[in-house]
Amino acid sequence: MAPLAVSRIGHYLLTVLASGMLAGVAFAQTENASLEAQRAAFKQAYAAASRGGDGWREQARGLTNYPLYPYLQAASLEHDLQQVDRPTVETYLRQFPDLIPASDLKRDFLQELARRQDWTDFVAMYQPGLGDALSCNALQAQLAGGAKLDFNRDLAALWAEPALPSACDPVLQAAFEQGLLTPARVWSRIDMAVEAGKAATISASSKWLPPEEAGTAQNLAQALNDPAAALLAAKQWPDNTRSRQAVTLALARLARRQSGTADDAWQQLQGRFHFTPAQRDRVLNALAVFHAADFDSNALARLIELPPSAQTPTSREWRVRMALAAKNWQAVLDGIAAMGPTQQQDDEWQYFRARALGELGRAEEAQRVYASVAGQSSYFGYLAADHQSASYALCNTQPAADPLTRQAVLAIPGIRRAFELFAIGNPKQARREWNLALANADAPTVRQAVILANERGWYDRAVFAFNNGDALGYYALRFPLASQDGLVPQAQQAGIDPSWAYGILRVESAWMSDAQSGADARGLMQLLPSTAATVARRNGLPWNGGDSLYDPATNIELGTRYLAQMAGRFNGSLWLASAAYNAGAARVDQWVTARSMLPPDLFVATIPFKETREYVARVMYYSVIYDWRLHGKAAPISTRMLPIGQPYSRLDPPEEHKSLTCPAPTVATATSSAAVPATAATPTAAPARAKLR
């Protein structure tokens, strides 16, 4: 009877547990349905609030406990800002202190009060630290009240900014009329603007100089804006300190654009002006470096002959690049030896040191250096590993589960708002809430917050949070696979390797679906609307305008087709197509014409644009990581970088794919430019296209 009794008890317990589990599932389903209903209602209410008035309140019934409820009234007040009075705004600020909508509303209302010139209410609400424009509005309020300006108290901090908003113009004019903008102070600001490359600030400041000095200041502005014209005019300039400053600046600027023209101007002007040694060094350095970037055949000799005082890490780097372009292997070794100790140890230069040693027949030395570089998880580490037929280094780790911290994170109001903003399709505001909520958080809290974000499909949080130290080992989080966006099938339909498409996406946007560059490239794969429209038309795909590129599925569908187009233009070469995706196909055509016989690793090393060199390296490295994420092994990086004219063809099934293992004590070196993830200069913009060399 005992076994039967146990069986009955066990059956009873299983029944109870199953009933509990079903009840839990039902509760979760009900809760999720309720949350989705709240999100839908909020979107409707927010659309109404954004049109102003109180019509939103009817649609917001039942949303008072929804985390984003405070955003509704703020949106309505923002729309009606020109009619809103101070008591109404202050009531909202008291009701929702310390929230982002409240701080935005306060800042915007202060700007509205300044527009109205309602200085009484402005002074009553203003507090320092709200930005340069409002600081200047506060000074306007002082002036309106009859107060005098004090330079050290009121202007010194603003004066140190290389550029100021237009709200500061009347304040600066008042300061000038009060005699506070002495020529010495004006020149100090102009010198700062010169260093910052702010020609507009120089021009605006020149009006506060004596007439005989204003023209000299304008010469500096011209040197920044139109260096070629400035150098032509310089033939008539007097030989004084400011003229020499302007000529030096113009020569350095023109060398970047037209090294040959800058060379001619230097030959004409170096005898006319008594340049300081530092100015001569700056000009000689710029000419040597940019002649190298322009593929000048004499560039290597010029870089070697640079006086020691004119050499910089950049000129020493280009000395090696030019030696690589010439396949002058002894010059490669000599150039690396001329670098400083820290620069020498970068894995790029250690890799090329090994490369040079091998080419010079010093195989044993070369293999020792390759072995040291192959321990790095980086572009150069994997190139070095291929020279040794070794596995790739990758120390993959997972953050530890921490249920208590996880629950604590979910209880943070700002995080709840961030998750809701992301869920309703407002990632920009979501990032603001996230950053504020975690501004002073410790590492375990951030780690669990990132895990929670990743579970919700918010992948860019890991890219930005896990970009140094031990966190570099969280490869699954740093290199996510978002199957719901359809990248793998879209890449396959386009006829390209999905791991390459993933690598491009990761470098371009760091998984920010709303990324937008200064050139207006948009979305995950950073497509220009004009390019996307052409790609859609060529492939018979629907096109719904530029904003559709913020939809991940649309962006990936068009982006993979554009990648296929680039690959086709360069005969299937992934690394050349990557360079073209970043710098433009026409530029890559020029580079191929100049150096088509170089092996791929040398070709990439001699790309004139620093951004594009590093871009190609990151894409190739990330492609390996994504290959591993997709298949557990990866096609060797050397098979992805075949000589020009030989297309990449993925082996399927993989016969010689690499294992990624953890033989090294560290994940990556801080000095490796290709090992550190590429992130946007700001969390709302994707990296700009290649412009500077």
Among the options 433, 508, 611, 614, which is catalytic? 508
Distance CA 56, CA 50 (A): 9
Coil, helix or strand at residue 393: strand
Specify burial of residue 68 (Cβ count, 10 A radius: 0-12, 13-18, 19+): buried
Beta strands in 537-678 (DSSP E): 660-661
Residues in contact with 492: Cβ distance below 8 Å, sequence separation at least 6, in sequence order: 498
Instruction: Mark whether 508 is an active-site residue.
Output: yes
CA distances from 640 to 499, 611, 657 (A): 11, 20, 12
Distance CA 214, CA 216 (A): 5
Distance CA 119, CA 141 (A): 5
At position 235, the amino acid (one-letter code) is K
**Residue 470 DSSP class:** G
- Which runs of consecutive H residues, i.e. helices, occur in 60-182? 70-79, 86-95, 100-116, 119-125, 132-144, 156-159, 169-177
Phi, psi angles (nearest 5°) of residue 89 = -65, -45
Number of residues that this document lists for the chain: 693
Closest of 617, 656, 616 to residue 639, by C-alpha: 656
Phi, psi angles (nearest 5°) of residue 393 = -80, 125
| 180 φψ region: left (φ > 0), alpha (ψ -120 to 50), beta (else) | alpha
Distance CA 644, CA 646 (A): 6
The DSSP result for 472-507, as a single string, is GG-HHHHS---GGGTHHHHHHHHTS-HHHHHHHHHH
Query: Could you check whether the bond before residue 653 is cis, i.e. omega within 30 degrees of 0?
Result: yes
Can you say how many angstroms the Cα of residue 539 is from the centroid of all Cα atoms in its chain? 30
237 with 243: CB under 8 angstroms? yes
The DSSP result for 436-454, as a single string, is HHTTT--HHHHHHHHHHHH
Residues assigned a catalytic role:
508
